[in-house]
Amino acid sequence: MDFTDDFVKWLCFANAGMLDKGNLYLIETAMRQLPSAAPIFEIGSFCGLSANVLTHFKRKYARKNRLVTCDKWQFENAGKDGDHIGKSPVLFSDYAAFVRDSYIRNTRLFSADDLPFTMEATSDEFFAAWKQKKEARDVLGRPMTLGGPLSFCYVDGDHTYEGAKKDFLNCDAFLEKGGFILFDDSTIEAFGVCKLMPEVAATGRYKLAATNPNHLFQKLRT
């Protein structure tokens, strides 16, 4: 299949799960050792695969932690050369709506017994609301009072160094002692998130809990 064709690339992204198999091990490792019942937070929901995996392991280990996620379904370089994907008739706006709807369908099917609370927001917007303990509604219209500590953060949003560092600092502000943070695609040199990993270790407040191949850190102190 020709992944140099923009239309084929976006079509495959919408219909195929993008989750390193090693992340299953890392998520399960964290889920077995969660320090409390504080919420689990995911940055970057896409079509719902990782949210459903998180819910699966919550179910497996009888964890009652609420899963909270955020995604604005805005894609890097979308519309950069026009409103359409490549030379196809498909609009980026329609693609974004399709992926958002796919997320809702997928979580309603695979996590119907424990639906995640998903805000349609960037991670910056989410953390601003979390810090202020705002009342919010998710993509299904359900209310929730935001705020408080987090027990596990799964970072899979902006893969640039600047974006990943900002997400790390925001997560760090709320991640409790003993909590975990998993960085997706953190061993791929093409992504800036890879460059952040030595900095997380250098804080002295985190230990590398596991790699497979991505990085799972556990917070040693606040």
Residue 185 lies in a domain: yes
54: nearest Cα among 71, 22, 21, 30: 30
153: nearest Cα among 168, 132, 133: 168
Question: What pLDDT tens digit does each residue of the chain (222 aa) get?
Answer: 344 566 566 555 655 567 788 999 999 999 999 999 999 999 999 999 899 999 999 999 999 999 999 999 998 777 777 899 888 999 999 999 999 999 999 899 989 999 999 999 999 999 999 999 999 999 999 999 999 999 999 999 999 999 999 999 999 999 999 999 999 999 999 899 999 999 999 999 999 999 999 999 999 998
- Please count the other Cβ atoms lying within 10 Å of the Cβ belonging to residue 167: 25
Residue 168 lies in a domain: yes
- The range of the structural domain enclosing residue 190 comes to 6-219
Whole-number Å distance between alpha carbons of 70 and 67: 10
- Helices (H) and strands (E) counted in the chain, each on its own, are 7, 9
Angle between helix 161-174 and helix 193-202 axes, rounded to 10 deg: 40
Close Cβ partners of 28 (under 8 Å, ≥ 6 residues apart): 57, 60
Close Cβ partners of 101 (under 8 Å, ≥ 6 residues apart): none
Phi, psi for residue 106 in degrees, rounded to 5: -65, -45
Residue 32 lies in a domain: yes
Distances (CA, A) of 93 to 2, 64, 85, 208: 23, 36, 10, 39
DSSP strand pairing (175-183 vs 67-70): unpaired
Number of domains in the chain: 1
Q: Is the model's pTM score more than 0.75? A: yes
Q: Where are any strands of DSSP class E within the chain?
A: 40-43, 67-70, 117-119, 135-137, 143-145, 150-155, 175-183, 206-211, 215-219
CATH number of residue 53's parent domain: 3.40.50.150
Residue 1 lies in a domain: no
